[in-house]
Structure 1
Amino acid sequence: MLSNDSPPGLDYVVLRIVIFSLIGIGVLMAFSASMATSQAESGTFWGEAIRQVVMVAFGLVMFWLALRTPPRVIRKYSGAFLLLSIVLLIVVLTPLGTGRDSVGSQSWIDLGPVSIQPSEIARIAIALYGAAVLAGQRFGMHGFQTFQRCWRDAFVRYSAVATLMLVLIVAQGDMGMAASFAIVAGFTLFFAGINSKVFLILVPFVLAGVIWVFSSGGFRSARFHTFFDALTGHIADTQEDGYQTYQGFLSLADGGVAGVGLGQSRAKWSYLPEARNDFVFAIVGEELGLWGGLLVIVLFAALLLFGIRTAMRAQTQFQALAAATLTTAVVSQAFFNISYVIGLLPVTGIQLPMISAGGSAAVVTIGAMGILCNIARHEPEQVSAMQNYGRPLFDRLLWIPEPEPIEDAPRPKGGRRRADGTGRPRSSRPQPEFGPAVTQRRSGHPHSVPTPRR
């Protein structure tokens, strides 16, 4: 972890560089990896890529709105956002939901040219809701002797809501997203301070679920068999169940160290299924080589490092929990995707955040990263730097206002609290020789009256 004497605003700057770099790589891969499928579906090579650019543009608008929204407002409406996500999870199970016939899970809601995946929204909603209700709470503080006391505990209420949403996602048939959602909820409880013994209780249930999937047959069971074959270096069925994994390995092998060149992938021409979505990392490795794949991994590692660092330096516990959970939600998703592409985990169908082509997933993930950057710019050291030297150029160009004061900071007697919660706000302008100005209100209008120095 970086030292505490690093310059103010370092987290805010690095997070923006990392996020925009991942988005840029994603746009490049959208133009490259979607050429074949776009030509087959719409008769033009760039149809899918242009659609992805439009969705990324919407995501950047959400990023900008998230930067402009004070954290207290995000916390206030986290419950409403959660309720919306639950409603969408229910709607997708009705005849309005699609995807069961094509990909085996009923996970999307078609809205004309745009499809919404409610489970992607649910992952962010449960993270923000958990940060809001668990901030300032201590596990077991209400006891568990009676149902009333048990339900009064914020950890119990949060776990009940998360379990309900998990059941709705499992009902869609999307086990990969269900596992990702469960990990986000688990990280939220972990960062909030739940007793680690609770997770040990869940281990037998998780193992039982894995054994059931492995032995139940179907395409999910076949993925486990392919995974074990890949670990031994020999995929028995390279034409049916193991075809996608085998073609992914070939793509990575063809890329070598330097890659075949941007746009020169052969696997994307109908050899590798879901080349623009689930297996886009294989196309990255083929076209950009080992160095391109390592670049993506390093960027996600940097996102994890500076996201957790932002959580450790956050103003309030709500901001700390939100930053830590949003960071681990995105990085864990990237870990699962890259791991199954290179053969370290069974294929789960989870997309690579900000790089895989996807509509609502891109918008939601980029918007969530805007919330993370917003928390970074509210670090006390960054706020103090803004007060003394003004807002950074990025904020001024995008009309992002100054951070608000800390929500729970005490107000000093006789003056307003500063945005870092320590006292009276300082101005970036030099003070006159006779001392600070005292603001008085006369007839509803503020007037600055100089007070002589004593």
Structure 2
Amino acid sequence: MTSTSVPGKRAGPGGGAGSGPGTGRSGSGPGAGPAETGRPGTTSRLDLLRGLLARPMASYYLLLFSAGLLLLIGLTMVFSATSVKAYATDGNTFAAISKQVAFAFIGLVAFWAFQRLPARTFRDLGVPVLGAALVLLVILDALLAWAKLRNLEVAKIGPLEANLLWLHIGPIQVQPSELAKLGLVLWGANVIAQKGAALGWWRELLNPLFPVVGLLFVLVGYNDLGTMLCLLAIVVGLLWAAGVRKRIFATLSVLGLAGVGLLIAVASLGAGSGEKDAENYRLLRLTSFFRTPADCGDPCYQALQARYAIDNGGWFGAGLGKSVMKWNWLPAADNDFIFAVLAEELGVVGCIVVLALFAVLAYTGFRIARRIGDPFRRLVAAAITTWLVSQAVINVGGVVGLLPITGLPLPFISDGGSALVVTLAAIGVLASFARAEPDAARALHARPPARWVRLVWAPLPPLPARRRRSEDDPRRDDPRTRRVGR
């Protein structure tokens, strides 16, 4: 006969309700659950973390936290890496950092503007942004090719001047390949979202996605193979988020490797920094990766100096501003190899902090993509996250010797105006989508901020549409779930 506890009856000192084996309050019995900690009311740290992540605006604040700290670290490291050289060149320690701060301000304005835009506006921005990037890339490549044919030292026609990756339009300097990243994300996501389930057919990929992507790869890869690899990662992120079949990815991998091989070969004809009848610098970078830096000479000079910087830093670093390698020992210390300066000054601990922030950014971006129902927003969030994370992996991998050196800057950290502005604009896109998550939108509408706050910061996102119950839902005909008037 099974005994049952009587409601309201107090348990005795030796037993009673809730004191038997497997049901003890102390949590020491064989049936104690894993969440019980031995004290009533205590909560494990894992449960606390889950509770914080379950909050409606968690994605938004995680995004601001990780991106904001990376931006702050980046400005600090740019000042540290450029102050000595700027003082020796111009007599002004703040010459380089003042420009980077100005670009950071412009990027924050772009972040604020993009955060306020609705999804429909992002769809419409894809074509003009990508079109402007293609036009600028054509002008850049044409000027460089014309200068090489005429044996000119400076590729300049009127107010237009080309300098490898940068295009000068009068006093304005822009890097078209950075604009191409954002344009490809917005345009590609819109094209794929409109095709929907038909994307599984090759003819849908061939019209118009692949031709435009192929043209973009050629225009970018002619001068910058590293950025072309980043664009390839964006395309892979878009197709992966769209659920394209694996055999299409296999074909794309073969085509991508063939394209990379072709771009490496054309460096012997003068593409990028190469010169005709000279040693192929792109092939040299690739082959030198498989050699010991101390034994391969000049091609491995950058990699070797980066290793020295990391070794000098140790676990806790030499101290902020006390890098030795930035005194003209390490080339591109403020850009491509700024992670080596960071490792020397802040040590392994500082590197772990930066990598952890990128990990938080990656988690947040994919979380936003997973929690949003709109296919276009999901594709854009996945592509932007893939772009930033893959670029960080390529840069850090090249500095520490795990990947070949490609010349890609480290997002948020490296010196560079166009890259920083476009990166902060992309974070603004993610922030707009984070506020549009279903739970976040409901929370913002439940307690809307004051009107002046919405005018200064960001308007309320649209409320998510209510889902209709499916025909086979067993709760559909349950009278307890019906509501009068609905």
Shorter-chain TM-score bucket reads 0.7 to 0.9
Give the TM-score normalised by the residue count of structure 1.
Answer: 0.80
The one-letter amino acid of 1:310's match is I
Residues in 1 aligned to 2:452 and 2:353: alpha-carbon distance in whole angstroms: 25
Residues in 2 aligned to 1:109 and 1:394: alpha-carbon distance in whole angstroms: 40
**Deviation digits for residues 261-310 of structure 1 (CA, Å, limit 9, x no counterpart):** 11111111101000000000001101111010011111111111110000
Aligned to 2:136: 88
The one-letter amino acid of 1:184's match is I
Residues in 1 aligned to 2:200 and 2:362: alpha-carbon distance in whole angstroms: 33
Aligned to 2:247: 197
Q: 2:211 aligns with which of 146, 160, 184?
A: 160
Checking the alignment, whether the CA contact within 8 Å between 1:386 and 1:392 is kept in structure 2 is no
Residues in 2 aligned to 1:127 and 1:155: alpha-carbon distance in whole angstroms: 17
**Deviation digits for residues 171-208 of structure 1 (CA, Å, limit 9, x no counterpart):** 2x211111111111222122122222122123334444
Q: 1:227 aligns with which of 282, 289, 313?
A: 289
Shift of 1:71: 1.7
Aligned to 2:308: 250
Aligned to 1:54: 102
Match of 2:466, SS state, is coil
Residues in 1 aligned to 2:119 and 2:193: alpha-carbon distance in whole angstroms: 13
Residues in 2 aligned to 1:44 and 1:284: alpha-carbon distance in whole angstroms: 22
Q: 1:372 aligns with which of 426, 430, 454?
A: 430
Q: How does 1:51-450 map to 2 (within 5 A)?
A: 51-95=99-143, 106-138=164-196, 140=198, 150=203, 153=204, 156-171=207-222, 173-208=223-258, 213=264, 217-230=279-292, 234-238=293-297, 240-391=298-449, 398-403=456-461, 405=462, 419-422=463-466
Could you list the structure 1 runs, at least 4 aligned residues long, displaced by more than 3 angstroms after superposition: 1-5, 96-102, 111-114, 138-144, 202-217, 391-398
Match of 1:244, SS state, is helix
**Alpha carbons of structure 1 residues 393 and 20: separation in structure 2 relative to 1, 3 Å:** farther
The one-letter amino acid of 1:175's match is L
**Alpha carbons of structure 1 residues 189 and 15: separation in structure 2 relative to 1, 3 Å:** same
Q: Which has the larger radius of gyration?
A: 2
Checking the alignment, whether the CA contact within 8 Å between 1:261 and 1:287 is kept in structure 2 is yes
**Deviation digits for residues 137-196 of structure 1 (CA, Å, limit 9, x no counterpart):** 33546956xxxxx3xx3663112211111111122x211111111111222122122222
Checking the alignment, whether the CA contact within 8 Å between 2:318 and 2:346 is kept in structure 1 is yes
Shift of 1:94: 2.8
Shift of 1:422: 2.9
Match of 1:95, SS state, is helix
Checking the alignment, whether the CA contact within 8 Å between 2:60 and 2:431 is kept in structure 1 is yes
Shift of 1:98: 11
**Alpha carbons of structure 1 residues 245 and 120: separation in structure 2 relative to 1, 3 Å:** same
Checking the alignment, whether the CA contact within 8 Å between 1:99 and 1:107 is kept in structure 2 is no
Residues in 1 aligned to 2:109 and 2:257: alpha-carbon distance in whole angstroms: 41
Residues in 1 aligned to 2:261 and 2:171: alpha-carbon distance in whole angstroms: 39
Residues in 2 aligned to 1:143 and 1:198: alpha-carbon distance in whole angstroms: 9
Match of 2:173, SS state, is strand
Match of 1:93, SS state, is helix
Residues in 2 aligned to 1:165 and 1:206: alpha-carbon distance in whole angstroms: 13
Aligned to 2:12: none
Residues in 2 aligned to 1:341 and 1:156: alpha-carbon distance in whole angstroms: 39
The one-letter amino acid of 1:222's match is L
Count matched residues: 397
Residues in 2 aligned to 1:112 and 1:242: alpha-carbon distance in whole angstroms: 37
Aligned to 1:409: none
Match of 1:229, SS state, is coil
Q: State the superposition RMSD in angstroms.
A: 3.0
**Deviation digits for residues 194-245 of structure 1 (CA, Å, limit 9, x no counterpart):** 2221221233344445666489742222222331124xxx53134x211111
Shift of 1:359: 1.1
**Alpha carbons of structure 1 residues 135 and 205: separation in structure 2 relative to 1, 3 Å:** closer
**Alpha carbons of structure 1 residues 201 and 393: separation in structure 2 relative to 1, 3 Å:** same
Shift of 1:382: 0.3
Give 5+ residue unaligned stretches, structure 1: 145-149, 406-418, 424-452
**Alpha carbons of structure 1 residues 98 and 183: separation in structure 2 relative to 1, 3 Å:** farther
Give 5+ residue unaligned stretches, structure 2: 1-45, 155-161, 269-278, 468-484
Checking the alignment, whether the CA contact within 8 Å between 2:63 and 2:361 is kept in structure 1 is yes
Residues in 2 aligned to 1:207 and 1:166: alpha-carbon distance in whole angstroms: 12
Match of 2:333, SS state, is coil
